[in-house]
Amino acid sequence: MSGINVMLNTKDVSEYLKISPNGLEARSDAYSFESVRCTFQVDSGIWFYETLIITPGVMQIGWATKDSTFLNHEGYGIGDDEYSLAYDGCRQLIWYNALTEPVTLQCWSPGDILGSLLDLKRLEIIFYLNGTPLSPCTQVFKTAKSGFFAAASFMSFQQCEFNFGNQPFKYPPMDRPFQCFNDHATLKDEDKVVLPRHIHLEQLRKLSVKEDSCTLCFDQKASLRLVPCGHRGFCSSCTNQLDECPMCRSAIVATVLFDENDESFDDT
């Protein structure tokens, strides 16, 4: 683990994603859409990282803030809300807020290198496949201009390896100076420990989470139902940050207080 100052964050990951002992490789063997953010946040400047594509299937790799939501069983990952943006080289799409834009690059293959540049001066994100750049993406900066993490989501049996700067980049951008995470971050020894997945899942099972907790934050009581879709299980703090239902992605017109005991509703 010498020389590794940034990893995939084992405390900021959906439950079934497997992370390698060095914290740089991720694989999903589950039938759900698993997501993860890295351990280092950036708020200004120009940043770059690379990803080695190991399997050529559906992965959405890019950038996300803490406000971006992981809902693995609902297929909700990076690029599926307004606080994240991702490149999907299998389906040749850019994802933002669950909407897509097609790209002209060929499908990625095992061994390809995806470069991801975040420029917080020009407010643009550029993806590179084996050094060939795509057009800049700017959509995510409508709602977020700081607080970004490298992030990715994985469909079943997909795998890739991240380089946050602990190794030389294969295809670094040549048109502007940039920084890499590894030169600016630090990790405590205890934060470098990646537990085997079965031990990690057992620890999650032992966590005391109340049955009526918000399904997004688990901190506050789930007290609201969304209108018109009717989905519930969310607290007021989380719903105040949502424009769309995280379950079905329909627009939220209003919220309704829900009482589990008497099934009554009060408009709010």
Whole-number pLDDT of residue 204: 58
Lowest mean pLDDT among 87-96, 136-145, 244-253: 244-253
Peptide bond before 21: cis, by omega within 30 degrees of 0? no
First to last CA, the chain: 51
Q: How sure is the predictor about 55, in pLDDT bands with cuts at 50, 70 and 90?
A: very high
pLDDT band of residue 74 (cuts 50, 70, 90) is confident
Tell how many helices (H) and how many strands (E) occur in the chain. Answer: 2, 18
pLDDT at residue 210, rounded to an integer? 67
Please determine, for residue 59, whether its predicted confidence score (pLDDT) is greater than 70: yes
Angstrom distance (rounded) from CA 255 to CA 224: 6
List, for residues 203-244, the tens digit of each pLDDT value.
656 655 566 788 887 778 888 989 999 898 888 888 888 888
Q: What phi-psi label fits residue 249: left (phi over 0), alpha (psi between -120 and 50 degrees) or beta?
A: left
pLDDT band at 142 (very low <50, low <70, confident <90, very high): very high
Domains of the chain: 8-197 (2.60.120.920), 224-267 (3.30.40.10)
**Residues 225 and 247 sit within 8 Å (Cβ to Cβ):** no
Q: In whole angstroms, what is the distance from residue 48 CA to residue 94 CA? A: 18
pLDDT recorded at residue 40: 97
Q: How confident is the model at residue 141 (pLDDT cuts 50, 70, 90)?
A: very high
Over 50: is that where the pLDDT of 138 sits? Answer: yes
Confidence at 265, pLDDT banded by 50, 70, 90: very low
pLDDT at 166: 96
Inter-CA distances, 62 with 19, 32, 35, 180, 233, Å: 17, 19, 11, 15, 28
Mean pLDDT of 97-107: 95
Of 12-21, 55-64, 140-149, the one with minimum mean pLDDT is 12-21
Q: What is the pLDDT of residue 266?
A: 41
- Pairing verdict, β 46-53 and 59-64: unpaired
